[in-house]
Amino acid sequence: MKQLLTRWGKTLDEEHVLEEYPRPLLVRKSYINLNGAWEYGFTKEFKRPAQFEGKIVVPFSPESTLSGVGRQLKPDEYLWYRKTFLVSFDMFQKEKLRRLLHFGAVDQSCVVYINGREAVRHTGGYLPFETDITDYLKEGENEILVSVKDLSDTSYHSRGKQKLKRGGMFYTAQSGIWQTVWMEDVPGEYIQKITARPDLDAGKVRITVTSEKSCAVEIEVRKPGIYEEPLRKPEDVFGEVETLEDWGHGTGRTNEEIVIHLPYIYPWTCETPYLYYFTVKMGDDTADSYFAMRTFTIEADKAGLPRICLNHKVQYQKGVLDQGYWPDGLYTAPSDEALIFDIQSMKNMGFNMLRKHLKIEPQRWYYHCDRLGMVVWQDMVNGGRMYKHWFVTYGATALSWRNLKIKDGYTRLLSREDKAGRLEFVKEMKETIALLKGHPSIAAWVIFNEGWGQFQTADMTDIARKEDPDRLIDQASGWFDQEGGDFQSIHNYFFRLRIRPEERRATVLSEFGGYSMRSEGHSACLTQYGYGIYTDVSQLNRAYVKLQEDVEKLIPEGLCASVYTQLSDVEEEVNGIFTYDREVLKIRGTCI
């Protein structure tokens, strides 16, 4: 496979890697970024390496070229990271501070040691975790040691499109630390979480501030704004806008809902993505967050057809499937600007929705969708044992064309025979929703995709609805529809486009297209995978325009959303609007 580099990867400064503040929904002034050079080593046994092998650039996985390693972590190996940092212990004792260590994501399981003592263990390659390391610290130099194990597609853990033997619609497996590592100093009693639940119709917002003990809390809402430039550092948020009590003020206790009525409502839309920033004060701790006033619903149009509505107005959601892979960083975008480029480029092309496919991004990606006005459908990350393609892909495709329903009780055929894997999926689905539901751009949760690891679909839908009653749910995108959720969700790559609208659920074409074309000098592989192969740019563009016209003809019949496959090429799958390196815009046939 040819190694491609993005323009951002080419200019990567290893001394300043992804330094932007990583948690936009809870911004605190204290921020210590630990990205950059760490030591690394591979071992066959769960034992610290006698000698480390060299330098790895965190948070790029060892399989990526930007990490400087370029080696696959295998299921029978351990990957070790080492980093040192300095501490002035007098400061902690004088100000009575606690230090928290955060990992954005580590794939799949890890153990973290501070100065040789185990501090925390975590499993779940897509979700963040933190630990209080204060009691492990010492004056002067301190050591972080991380041991990582990744079984990839040899087990039931969530893994998305990763595969140890890549090819076709499966991509290079990555491992280890792949999101920002950072620290912050907090007072003894500190704000652990901020959850804002807007109620557009009632003109109010419900805010819950979570802390270990019940404490008095004060909330001040600022004048809403549209943020054309991203907020990168904590100081960009604190005091950026004059606080006006007229925009909203509330007091109460932590761990209890505080209702704030807003006298002036600026609704969030794709054209005017207004964000309301607010400040939370609790004892010696202060943090900033934001929300937006908007609601996504299913409502009948004048003809009685169910439609997706934003703020009670019909919105046709024209979307793109977004895998979130990069040729030089794999799961990790080489820069914040690269994340913005993908979102803004799709908006410039007339799309108003991205379906984040089988991956959870760093929270800054969702923040950029919030401030730029890009609707998001968020997939849960799939897992399970080895997929039976003859059943979940080929057989299901044929049956779906005949509108034949298949029950989801075939746990072995759907690769969900492990009870531990089913329980892990429920746990991670809840954690995913809790992590991301504060982002106003997210319109829908996609629970299962094409039967991959699908089980107890109705039960999973009920759980997701309880965790977040304010969003839409696509319970089974593609095949194995169980007639629940808010969408009749269709995938169609091979047949004539047609729909059969329902009375209650909105009809969505949640995957289609996938027209492929290799672009010489910008393709990673000689082999080619896609749904319709083209060798000429003008031919590809004519076919794309004709396909979109066919889709648009279905809108009056009841089609509510469409998701074109896909935003960019990924390895052999060269059906992107952009090439893998984001240099050639293939659908328009121009370089940018």
Q: What is the pLDDT of residues 65-107, one digit of tens each?
A: 999 999 999 999 999 999 999 998 777 777 789 999 999 999 9
pLDDT at 592 over 60: no
Kindly indicate the confidence band of residue 564, based on its pLDDT and cuts at 50, 70 and 90. very high
pLDDT of residue 242: 52
CB contact at 8 A, 207 and 195: yes
Percent of the chain with pLDDT over 70: 98
pLDDT at 373 over 70: yes
State phi, psi for 336 to the nearest 5 degrees.
Answer: -65, -35
Q: Comparing 111-125, 214-228, 392-406, which segment has the lowest mean pLDDT? A: 392-406
Q: Which residues pair with 129 in a beta bridge?
A: 103
Q: Which two tokens stand for residue 260?
A: 């704030």
State the Cα angle at 27 between 22 and 32, rounded to 5°. Answer: 55
CB atoms within 10 A of CB 58: 25
CB atoms within 10 A of CB 482: 18
pLDDT of residue 398: 74
Q: Which two tokens stand for residue 164?
A: 């140890």
- Which burial class, exposed, middle or buried, applies to 388 when counting CB atoms under 10 A from its CB (0-12, 13-18, 19+)? middle
Bond preceding residue 3 cis, omega within 30 of 0? no
Q: Comparing 258-267, 359-368, 408-417, which segment has the lowest mean pLDDT? A: 408-417
pLDDT at 241 over 80: no
Q: For the residues 499-526, what does the mean pLDDT come to?
A: 96
CB atoms within 10 A of CB 486: 24
**What is the chain's percent helix, strand, coil content, to nearest 5?**
20, 35, 50
Percent of the chain with pLDDT over 90: 89
pLDDT at 117 over 50: yes
CB atoms within 10 A of CB 570: 26
Report the helix count and the strand count for the chain, using DSSP H and E. Answer: 10, 34
pLDDT of residue 96: 85
Three-state SS for 384?
coil
User: Could you give the CA distance from residue 353 to residue 158 in angstroms, rounded to a whole number?
Assistant: 24
Kindly indicate the confidence band of residue 342, based on its pLDDT and cuts at 50, 70 and 90. very high
CB contact at 8 A, 381 and 410: no
pLDDT of residue 410: 87
CB contact at 8 A, 565 and 556: no
Kindly indicate the confidence band of residue 391, based on its pLDDT and cuts at 50, 70 and 90. confident
25: nearest Cα among 378, 290, 374: 290
CB contact at 8 A, 179 and 122: no
pLDDT at 591 over 50: no
pLDDT at 400 over 80: no
Q: Which two tokens stand for residue 582?
A: 């984001």
pLDDT at 240 over 60: no
User: Could you give the CA distance from residue 374 to residue 66 in angstroms, rounded to a whole number?
Assistant: 28
Q: Which amino acid is at 358?
A: L
Q: For the residues 30-59, what does the mean pLDDT come to?
A: 98
pLDDT at 404 over 90: no
User: Could you give the CA distance from residue 164 to residue 60 in angstroms, rounded to a whole number?
Assistant: 18
Q: Mean pLDDT score of the chain, rounded to an integer?
A: 95
User: Could you give the CA distance from residue 156 to residue 450 in angstroms, rounded to a whole number?
Assistant: 17
Q: Output the CA–CA distances (angstroms, integers) from residue 278 to 24, 74, 91, in the order listed.
A: 12, 45, 29
- Which burial class, exposed, middle or buried, applies to 378 when counting CB atoms under 10 A from its CB (0-12, 13-18, 19+)? buried
Q: Which two tokens stand for residue 180?
A: 């920002």
Three-state SS for 330?
strand
User: Could you give the CA distance from residue 540 to residue 531 in angstroms, rounded to a whole number?
Assistant: 12
Q: Which residues pair with 474 in a beta bridge?
A: 446
pLDDT of residue 239: 59
Q: For the residues 267-279, what does the mean pLDDT come to?
A: 97
CB contact at 8 A, 147 and 46: yes
Residues 6+ apart with CB under 8 A from 377: 319, 353, 354, 355, 356, 442, 443, 444, 445, 446, 474, 510, 563
Sign for the CA dihedral angle at 513, 519, 524, 525 comes to: positive
Q: For the residues 243-268, what does the mean pLDDT come to?
A: 89
Q: Which two tokens stand for residue 405?
A: 């329903």
Q: Comparing 170-184, 198-212, 523-537, 567-581, which segment has the lowest mean pLDDT? A: 523-537
pLDDT of residue 589: 45
pLDDT at 243 over 80: no
CB contact at 8 A, 71 and 42: yes
User: Could you give the CA distance from residue 423 to residue 428 in angstroms, rounded to a whole number?
Assistant: 9
Q: Comparing 120-134, 261-275, 405-419, 430-444, which segment has the lowest mean pLDDT? A: 405-419
pLDDT digits (tens, 9 = 90+) for 447-468: 999 999 999 999 999 999 999 9
Q: Output the CA–CA distances (angstroms, integers) from residue 201 to 39, 243, 261, 262, 460, in the order listed.
A: 53, 24, 11, 11, 28
Kindly indicate the confidence band of residue 246, based on its pLDDT and cuts at 50, 70 and 90. low
Residues 6+ apart with CB under 8 A from 164: 72, 74, 75, 152, 153, 154, 173
Kindly indicate the confidence band of residue 32, based on its pLDDT and cuts at 50, 70 and 90. very high
Q: Comparing 1-15, 58-72, 180-194, 390-404, which segment has the lowest mean pLDDT? A: 390-404
